[in-house]
Amino acid sequence: MKNLFITITLAAAMTAAQAQKTITLDAPGTLHENIAESEKYNITELKITGPLNGTDVILLRDMAGTDLDNNTTEGQLARLDLSGAQMKAGGEPYYTDYNSMTDYSTADNEMSDMIFFNCQALRSVTLPETATAIGSGAFKNCSQLSEVTLPPVLEEIRSEALAGTAVTAFAFPDGVMPSEGVLKNCSQLVEVTLPAGCTEIPASAFSGTGLTAVELPQGLLKIGEDAFGGSQLASVTMPVTLREIGDGAFMMCSQLAVINLNDGLESIGSSAFSWCDALTSVTIPNSVTAIGSGAFSVCESLAEAQLPESLTEISESMFDRCGSLQKINVPEGLVRIGGYAFQNNTMLAEFTIPESVTEIGDYAFSNTALAEIVLPKGLTSIGRSAFSGCGNAQRIVLPEALTEIPDNAFTYCEAVKEVTVNEGVTAIGRMAFAQCLSMERLTLPSSLATIGQMTFAMNDNLTEVHCLGPVPATCEAGAFKTSTGDVPEGCTLYVPEGSKEAYEAASTWSSFTDIRENGGTGISLNPTPETRRETMRLDASGRRINGTRSGINIIVYDDGTVKKTTIR
């Protein structure tokens, strides 16, 4: 029994001795002479003094869990102290990237690119006191590496040097600036200190980290693309010097509830704050002149937004799928509202489109809660499905400058009862007013030449259609189709005097069983006096006239009503 005890004790002592090792080298490339093949996978702590080159790094990588070809080994080296070592150029390449066919070798006084890439066993590294640079990807994906001791002479940390590591806090030395992706995907990183003099946070520098707060230094000019994307930031205050926020800079920061943007900020990139689920309000300073597409898209809690008065364009998808948005100011100088800008803003009930707007893009207000749709006089272009699914809108006012209504423009505007298409429109696209289930009255201009497929389909409650043109517009298949037939049952078609026969002979129009001539207006003899705006004036044949002329004048108002008067 006594002999057995002595044997076990000696074995434990030998294991401990193998677990920790200190080596002094006289020449680079000689590390393998000091570590036996039988012990290399048992060493967990290693301190080296003296020169090292690529041949030595091959062995160190093997001991730290990854070989020359990036395959996993049995290495257990967790703590590596190189404070007394000197990195030297030369020796064999220590890593080969077969995707790019690149060999990586050591350089003098640098922790070279990819030097310990993907070494899964490493937990702590002390860098050589003479190292002036940490190379790109040097410790990338060392998923257990939580401690890195930097040398006092360090001048540069290159891209993705510490990406995917387990560091919890990191302070950049004075004069050493963050690089692209430097701490990307460090999910346990909760604290970072930026250096004095930092003017830019590069792309992806802190994306995917556990940061909950960060102090941005004065003097900072730019926050790069995806710089903090997917981090855990709860609030952020921009320094007064900041001029640019890059694309996706804070994208998918799901805990970000407070954004303080500075006066002097000039541009906000595409998707800069998209998918920030906790954000409830944002005020964009007047100094901002450009906001990229989707900048605040899918911010599900965003209820209020203040846009800068200098803004001339609301870009594509800027507030797309912001389901809580209810209040937003609209700059008076706005010229364009981009596609999908407010799509699926299901609580947006009020939005006054300024008279300066000339273009509204595809799906811009699709599936919003707008109570009315009043388009400015100078509007010349509406995109496909721009107002589709606006089921609460009870009024649609179209502008005089519009010449074409595109496909699905007002589909599923289920509450509107009356629509007057402005004079000047020559074509109405497919399903443009389909499924407007409450529509009872429709007025079409004399300029209209074509009506698309299913344009007014499934409007079963339509009882009056007023055509102001003496020549019937060409209708594509199913233009007025309903659940019961080709045209609404019991609907009366009003046409200009002398044009009844033409409509009776025309495809689709001939399906109306009640066609009446009355100047094409369905005119009320006793119109209700109210505050309304005249949108156009026609003669008895339905042709547009400028000003008042003697004879019959047909006046069309912006609320859809029509008045007939005789001027002597």
Longest CA pairwise span in the chain (Å): 133
pLDDT at site 10: 33
pLDDT bucket at 503, cuts 50 / 70 / 90: very high
Does residue 558 surpass a pLDDT of 80? no
Q: What six digits make up the tokens of 242?
A: 């900041």
Secondary-structure breakdown of the chain: helix, strand, coil percentages, each rounded to the nearest 5: 5, 25, 70
Handedness of CA 482, 485, 486, 490 (dihedral sign): negative
Vertex 313 angle, CA 344 and 248, to 5°: 65
pLDDT at site 68: 87
129 CA to centre of own chain: 44
Q: Could you read off the pLDDT of 336-372 as tens digits, one per residue?
A: 999 999 999 999 999 999 999 999 999 999 999 999 9
Backbone angles phi, psi at 127, to 5 degrees: -80, 155
| Burial classification of residue 48, based on how many CB atoms lie within 10 Å of its CB (0-12 exposed, 13-18 middle, 19 or more buried) | buried
Q: Are strands 147-149 and 124-126 parallel, antiparallel or unpaired?
A: parallel
Q: Which residues lie below 8 Å from residue 413, measured CB to CB, with a gap of 6+?
A: 373, 387, 388, 389, 390, 391, 393, 396, 433, 436
With contact defined as beta carbons under 8 Å apart, do 339 and 359 qualify? no
- Give the 3-state secondary structure of residue 32: helix
Average pLDDT over residues 506-529: 71
Give the span between the Cα atoms of 57 and 62, in whole angstroms. 8
Q: What is the DSSP letter of 431?
A: T
> 547: left (phi > 0), else alpha (psi -120 to 50), else beta?
left
Long-range (24+ apart) CB contacts under 8 A made by 61-66 are 61/94, 61/95, 61/116, 61/119, 63/35, 63/121, 64/116, 64/119, 64/120, 64/121, 64/122, 65/119, 65/120, 65/121, 65/122, 66/117, 66/118, 66/119, 66/120
pLDDT bucket at 521, cuts 50 / 70 / 90: very low
Q: Which residues lie below 8 Å from residue 169, measured CB to CB, with a gap of 6+?
A: 189, 190, 191, 192
Average pLDDT over residues 250-273: 98
Q: Could you read off the pLDDT of 99-127 as tens digits, one per residue?
A: 889 999 999 999 999 999 999 999 999 99
Give the span between the Cα atoms of 119 and 122, in whole angstroms. 6
Q: What six digits make up the tokens of 465?
A: 């259609």
Q: Percent of the chain beyond pLDDT 70? A: 92
- What are the angstrom distances between the C-alpha of 106 and each of 25, 58, 63, 133, 333? 17, 11, 18, 12, 59
Give the span between the Cα atoms of 138 and 130, in whole angstroms. 16
Mean pLDDT of the chain: 92
pLDDT at site 559: 58
> 539: left (phi > 0), else alpha (psi -120 to 50), else beta?
beta
Average pLDDT over residues 34-49: 97
Give the span between the Cα atoms of 436 and 259, in whole angstroms. 41
Give the span between the Cα atoms of 226 and 275, in whole angstroms. 13
Closest-CA residue to 228 (of 206, 210, 255)? 206
Which range among 12-26, 135-149, 347-361 shows the weakest confidence by mean pLDDT? 12-26
Closest-CA residue to 252 (of 281, 274, 282)? 274
- What are the angstrom distances between the C-alpha of 6 and each of 14, 17, 18, 42, 222? 12, 16, 18, 22, 66
Residue 87 pairs in a beta bridge with 52
Closest-CA residue to 61 (of 101, 106, 24)? 106
With contact defined as beta carbons under 8 Å apart, do 110 and 85 qualify? no
Does residue 67 surpass a pLDDT of 80? yes
